[in-house]
A and B are shown apart, each in its own frame.
Chain A
Amino acid sequence: MVQFTLPRNSKITKGKAWNPPAKGAEPGRWREYRIYRFDPETGENPRVDTYWVDMNDCGPMILDALLWIKNKIDPTLTFRRSCREGVCGSCSMNIDGTNTLACTMHAEEARGAAIAVYPLPHMPVIKDLVPDMTQFYAQHREIEPWLKTDSPTPQKEWRQSHEDREKLDGLYECILCACCSTACPSYWWNGDRYLGPAILLQANRWVEDSRDERTGERLDDLEDPFRLYRCHTILNCTKACPKGLNPAAAIANLKRKMVERT
Chain B
Amino acid sequence: MSNIIDLTLSELVSNIKNKKISSNEATSAYVERSKKSKNLNAYNEEAFDIALKKANDFDSKPDFNKKLPGIPIAVKDLFCTRNIKTTASSKILNNFIPTYESTVTQNLWNEGSILLGKLNCDEFAMGSSNETSYFGNVISPIDKDLVPGGSSGGSASALAAKLTPATIGTDTGGSIRQPASFTGTVGLKPTYGSCSRYGIVAFASSLDQAGPMTRNVKDSALLLEVMSSFDNKDSTSVDFKRPMYSKDLSKDIKGKKIGIPKEYRVEGMSEEIEKLWEDGKKYLKDCGAEIIDISLPHTKFALPTYYIVAPAEASSNLARYDGVKYGFRTVGDNLIDMYEKTRSAGFGDEVKRRIMIGTYVLSSGYYDAYYLKAQKVRRLIKNDFSNTFQKVDAILTPSTPSSAFKIGEKSNDPVSMYLNDIFTVPVNLAGLPGISIPAGLDKKGYPLGLQIIGKSFDEQNILNIAYSMEDKINFKFNLKEWWMNE
Q: Do the two chains belong together in a single complex?
A: no
